Amino acid sequence: MSHPSQPDPVFRTLPEEPTLRRIVSAAFDISVTLDPGDEVVAVDTAADFPHEIPGHWTRASVFETLTDETRRKASELLEEARREGAAGARHLNLSFPGKVELPIEVSAVRIGSSERLLLLGTSLQHIAEMQQRLVQAQQDMEQEYWQYRNAETRYQALFSLTQDPFLLVDWESLEVLQANESAEAIYGSGEAGTRGRPVDEVLAPGGAAAVRSLFDAYRSGESGATIHFTGSDGAREAVLRRVEIAGRHAILVRLPREGGSSARSSATRTGVDVEVVLASLPDGVVVLDEGGRVRWVNPAFRDLAQLERSTDVVGAALGRWLQGPGSGATILLSTITDRGRVRLFRSKLRGDLGLETDVEISGAPLPDGGWILGVRAVGSRIEGPAADSASLATRVSELSGLLGTVGLKELVGSVGNLVERHLLTAALDATGGNRTAAAELLMLSRQTLYTKLREHGLNGDSED
């Protein structure tokens, strides 16, 4: 725990200094006293604060303790506190040696009639870690989905381009679901083609019953995978294989190749100007260098970020616009680095004029270093309970008004209840109201989670 060696003069003007310090230490992870010039006078931390406070913070500007992208929000916080007497919470990032960052939620109050300020901070590291685990789980699901889609795409490419005729037949109805170009050229019937027609009528219009009986025998296991039948132009052979496409059972039918029949192939180069294409997209596109600095943005991102010109942002850090613990630029880029790409990463983008937009970001590394990101504006999909609209720090601050009427033990218990409710709400928000997923994030059993939700008057939207 880091404390000033002597009682700060600010606290001498307040009653019951030891009690007040215990309340602050119990309610907040970190408190910082600033003089009128925004220099750090004293820093207090909770017993379980995860980092040692650097010695050079004392008498340094408070802005030197923060990351570059959050200094503007800190300036707004201090101005509001001196103007109004108190300022609502902002999400800031403390900067520690070794490029270690700690997300915190900070509120500020003016001390009496002086220009000195007291900053009260609550660590958001737990939320960032939960968000990181959620992002990793989402990326695992996305990876599995795209592996399946890639396999399906490869199958479709082979199915379409092979010169051997192939039919895909529904297992139950024996109707043709799909035929490649070679099969259509041989067995298609005018404009109607083969799709939707019974396979026996496609292969042998004059002997459909015999062909159907061969397929029936294959489905029942009475015959092997190779069948022989008489088509309109003589004896034929087909190889059958049971497959599953998009959860649907089907029969893949390989037929003999006709002379001169071949699938068409097309591999032409279009010469399209990629930059022109990216500039015309309705969603934002950002190209970053290896240090996470902006190299290029398209007009759609410029509109989201409220920029006058695209050149205004070249060299700027992405964190200038991305907001929120667990959804900022650092976690986004580290996720791409660790996993090779990211899809549908939820975050909040704040424009230079103050407009905030919920966004989903997909990104991948570039071959020559750096990253390319797609940024899509989305509507707000999760609405927190009305009872939680006030920030945690503000509600905890209000407990100071109970000094002298309620004992310290009861006050600390009230702080614990507020923090527990805050974390329950955060977990429900992060999982879209899914109580099963929220229980996993909080490392609770579902029954324990349901009990706590009832105690706090909260309710998840769905179990699964």
Q: Are residues 189 and 169 in the same domain?
A: yes
Phi, psi of 377 (to 5 degrees): -75, 135
| pLDDT the model gives residue 402 | 61
Q: Contact 348/326 with Cβ under 8 angstroms?
A: no
* Pairwise CA distance, residues 36 & 56, whole Å: 19
The domain that contains 400 carries what CATH number? 1.10.10
Residue 30: inside a domain, yes or no? yes
**Domain boundary residue, one of 254, 287, 315:** 254
211-222 pLDDT, tens digit each: 888 888 888 886
Q: Which amino acid is at 25?
A: S
Q: Are residues 61 and 90 in the same domain?
A: yes
Residue 442: inside a domain, yes or no? yes
Q: Are residues 396 and 367 in the same domain?
A: no
Total count of domains within the chain: 4
Residue 261: inside a domain, yes or no? no
**In which residue are the tokens 């397929």 written?**
215
Residue 259: inside a domain, yes or no? no
| pLDDT the model gives residue 293 | 86
Q: Is the dihedral of CA 364, 369, 370, 374 positive or negative?
A: negative
* Pairwise CA distance, residues 305 & 352, whole Å: 6
Q: Are residues 119 and 187 in the same domain?
A: no
Q: How many CB atoms lie within 10 A of CB 396?
A: 23
Q: Is the dihedral of CA 334, 339, 341, 347 positive or negative?
A: negative
Q: Are residues 2 and 113 in the same domain?
A: yes
Helix (H) or strand (E) holding 125: helix 125-161
Q: Are residues 26 and 119 in the same domain?
A: yes
Q: Are residues 366 and 433 in the same domain?
A: no
The domain that contains 72 carries what CATH number? 3.30.450.20
Residue 140: inside a domain, yes or no? no
* Pairwise CA distance, residues 159 & 369, whole Å: 36
Q: Are residues 405 and 343 in the same domain?
A: no
| pLDDT the model gives residue 182 | 80
Q: Are residues 209 and 280 in the same domain?
A: no
Q: Are residues 5 and 97 in the same domain?
A: yes
- Which residues have C-beta within 8 Å of that of residue 106, sequence separation ≥ 6? 74, 77, 89, 90, 91, 92, 119, 120, 121, 122, 393
* 8-state DSSP, 399: G
Low-confidence ranges of the chain (pLDDT < 70): 1-22, 25, 151-152, 154-161, 189-192, 222-224, 232-233, 246, 257-272, 309-312, 323-327, 379-413, 459-464
Residue 146: inside a domain, yes or no? no
Q: Are residues 99 and 185 in the same domain?
A: no
**Domain boundary residue, one of 108, 123, 138:** 123
| pLDDT the model gives residue 61 | 92
Domain that holds residue 60: 1-123
Strands (E), 215-355: 226-231, 234-245, 248-254, 284-288, 294-297, 322-323, 342-350
- Which residues have C-beta within 8 Å of that of residue 24, sequence separation ≥ 6? 31, 44, 120
Residue 129: inside a domain, yes or no? no
**Domain boundary residue, one of 90, 123, 156:** 123
Q: Are residues 242 and 301 in the same domain?
A: no
240-294 pLDDT, tens digit each: 888 877 678 888 888 876 543 333 333 333 456 777 888 888 889 999 888 888 8
Residue 66: inside a domain, yes or no? yes
Q: Which residues pair with 30 in a beta bridge?
A: 45, 121
